[in-house]
């Protein structure tokens, strides 16, 4: 019989399962430690990938926005009676409270101090303050806003500002890496990363013109107005909204493309408003039945149902039943596409219209003009109406007058009681049935501007001195 040393026997006899597991754990731990110790500081002489160098350029251009709004508090008329309060020994009841909101913004013009943000971040604000990354704080001056794209511009007076260059979002592709920078929940500047999940998204409530970039970079309340940038530190979008069944981030965020934001910003700076061109058509979605009736095959687009007189569409010769398939050299696949493109057309531009009629495609070029009978800012009519947006009443409403779309707070019109949703039916006792009649009533030389309005079925008078 051959004897085997005891220590050698340990190598040949079967090992208990617990010992095997223990040895495996020790070997795994040693392997991880060796790998960690061997992790290189660089690869081929290059440092390990990091977003830090890009963010060093980006974060100084992203600001925190704090806005406050004074809101009137509704109280019982008895509380407004000094005798009642004195008799019952009640303290003075505050007549207003202050609402505060937080958001983000992006410096896009350092020399002029222009900051781009969302309209809903500063909408109705009485005071707007901007905090830079370096801790400096400034009061901002309101320049203009556009509810229909949810964009706004404010200005600060400051030295040594940093701006973000804008990227041509026509070159953006699904799958591109992106970084979101903002002020979520008021925590302070925060960075998240992801990719472009989709392009050309629409369907969000409350906005007329929609062509969103969708991203899975985490966007939360307070990120609104912040920057979505590429890995070169170029601005590709303004973070605006999230899809959230639960109220938290679920990886579906939306940003307004930088190209759209630039167009809107330029108009807000120049005019204080967005002056939109109009084709002068009413359209509807195309269905399978309409395709057969119009001999449109598999064409996608927007079916013309009405051509307004003296409009660009009328000049171009468009007719009801035409299917618009392209505008300004961009495809029109549905009604929302047409609205998005039309709403951002520059006034006075020559624009190509591609359409389908009687089984074949056609093309025409026409100059786009502003439809002042559809929408106009009050300031263009009278300085006393500064901050008021006026619009044509939809025909389906069945009433005549002029719709007050918006009234900016702290303006003469606001202080005189004019509110969004009011219907102007007369000016200085002269009836107006539509926006064209209202425009022809100006200029008005009287010292007082008296607007007869209808609000929720009741008549009011707003007098602006």
Bridge partners of 450?
A: 463
**What confidence score (pLDDT) does residue 97 get?**
66
- Told to judge if 440 belongs to the known catalytic residues of this protein, a careful annotator would answer no
Which of the four pLDDT bands, split at 50, 70 and 90, describes residue 5?
Answer: very low
**What confidence score (pLDDT) does residue 190 get?**
87
209 vs 141: which has the higher pLDDT = 141
| Distance in angstroms (rounded) separating the CA atoms of residues 451 and 413 | 10
Q: For residue range 430-455, what is the model confidence (pLDDT) as tens digits?
A: 999 999 999 998 988 888 899 999 99
Q: For residue range 194-250, what is the model confidence (pLDDT) as tens digits?
A: 999 998 887 777 677 778 899 988 888 888 889 999 999 999 999 988 776 666 667
Bridge partners of 67?
A: 101, 128
Question: Of these residues, 104, 145, 146, 150, which one is catalytic?
Answer: 150
**What confidence score (pLDDT) does residue 51 get?**
84
| Both tokens assigned to 55 | 């963010």
SS3 153: strand
**Cβ-Cβ contacts under 8 Å for 106 (sequence gap 6 or more):** 61, 62, 63, 115, 116, 117, 164, 225, 226, 227, 235, 238
| Both tokens assigned to 228 | 């979505």
**What confidence score (pLDDT) does residue 4 get?**
29
Which of the four pLDDT bands, split at 50, 70 and 90, describes residue 354?
Answer: very high
Q: For residue range 30-86, what is the model confidence (pLDDT) as tens digits?
A: 554 544 544 455 556 666 778 888 889 999 999 999 988 776 655 555 555 555 555
Q: Quick one: which H or E segment has residue 27? A: helix 17-37
Answer whether 0.85 is exceeded by the pTM: no
**What confidence score (pLDDT) does residue 46 get?**
66
- Told to judge if 278 belongs to the known catalytic residues of this protein, a careful annotator would answer no
Q: What is the mean pLDDT of residues 379-399?
A: 85
Question: Of these residues, 224, 278, 311, 377, which one is catalytic?
Answer: 224
**What confidence score (pLDDT) does residue 24 get?**
60
Q: What do you get for the CA distance between the two ends of the chain, in Å? A: 121
Cβ 401 vs Cβ 424: under 8 Å: yes
Burial class of residue 262, CB neighbours in 10 A (0-12, 13-18, 19+) = middle
pLDDT above 60 for 310? yes
Q: How does strand 235-242 pair with strand 227-229? A: antiparallel
* Angle (CA) 449 451 457, round 5°: 165
Q: What is the mean pLDDT of residues 334-343?
A: 84
| DSSP letter, residue 35 | H
**Cβ-Cβ contacts under 8 Å for 53 (sequence gap 6 or more):** none
> How many residues are present in the chain?
465
Question: Of these residues, 66, 104, 120, 354, which one is catalytic?
Answer: 120
Catalogue all structural domains in the chain, each as residue range(s) with its CATH number.
Answer: 169-200+207-257 (2.40.10.10), 279-370 (2.30.42.10), 375-464 (2.30.42.10)
| Distance in angstroms (rounded) separating the CA atoms of residues 216 and 4 | 65
Distances (CA, A) of 390 to 150, 216, 393, 423, 445: 18, 38, 9, 10, 20
């Amino acid at each position: 019989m051959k004897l085997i040393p005891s220590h050698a026997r340990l190598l040949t006899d079967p090992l208990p399962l617990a010992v095997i597991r223990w040895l495996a754990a020790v070997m795994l731990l040693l392997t991880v430690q060796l790998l960690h110790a061997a992790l290189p500081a660089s690869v081929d002489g290059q440092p390990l990938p990091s977003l830090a160098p890009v963010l060093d350029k980006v974060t100084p251009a992203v600001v925190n926005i704090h806005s406050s709004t004074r809101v009137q508090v509704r109280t019982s008329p008895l509380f407004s009676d000094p005798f009642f309060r004195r008799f019952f020994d009640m303290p003075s009841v505050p007549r207003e409270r202050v609402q505060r909101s937080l958001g983000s913004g992006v410096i896009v013009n350092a020399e002029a101090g222009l900051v781009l943000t969302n309209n809903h971040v500063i909408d109705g604000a009485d005071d707007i303050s901007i905090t830079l990354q370096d801790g400096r704080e400034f009061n901002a001056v309101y320049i203009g806003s556009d509810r229909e794209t949810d964009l706004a511009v404010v200005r600060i007076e400051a030295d040594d500002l940093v701006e973000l260059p804008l990227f041509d979002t026509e070159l953006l592709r699904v799958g591109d890496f992106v970084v979101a920078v903002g002020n979520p929940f008021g925590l302070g500047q925060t960075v998240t990363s992801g990719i472009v999940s989709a392009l050309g998204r629409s369907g969000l409530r409350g906005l007329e013109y929609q062509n969103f970039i969708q991203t899975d970079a985490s966007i939360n309340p307070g990120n609104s107005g912040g920057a979505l940038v590429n890995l070169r530190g170029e601005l590709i979008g303004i973070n605006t909204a999230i899809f959230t069944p639960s109220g938290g981030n679920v990886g579906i965020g939306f940003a307004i493309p930088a190209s759209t934001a630039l167009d809107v910003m330029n108009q807000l700076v120049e005019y204080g408003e967005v002056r939109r061109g109009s084709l002068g058509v009413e359209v509807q979605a195309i269905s399978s039945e309409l395709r057969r009736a119009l001999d449109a095959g598999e064409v996608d687009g927007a079916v013309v149902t009405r051509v307004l007189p003296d409009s660009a569409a009328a000049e171009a010769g468009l007719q009801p039943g035409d299917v618009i398939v392209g505008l300004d050299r961009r495809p029109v696949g549905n009604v929302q596409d047409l609205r998005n493109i039309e709403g951002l057309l520059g006034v006075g531009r020559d624009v190509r219209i591609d359409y389908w009629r009687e089984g074949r495609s056609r093309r025409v070029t026409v100059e786009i003009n502003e439809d002042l009978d559809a929408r106009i800012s009050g300031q263009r009519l009278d300085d006393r109406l500064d901050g008021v947006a006026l619009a044509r009443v939809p025909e389906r409403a069945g009433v005549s007058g002029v719709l007050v779309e918006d009234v900016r707070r702290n303006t003469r019109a606001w202080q005189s009681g004019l509110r969004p949703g009011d219907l102007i039916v007369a000016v200085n006792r002269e009836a107006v049935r539509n926006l064209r009649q209202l425009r022809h009533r100006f200029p008005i030389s009287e010292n007082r501007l008296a607007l007869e309005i209808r609000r929720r079925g009741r008549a009011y008078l707003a007098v602006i001195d």
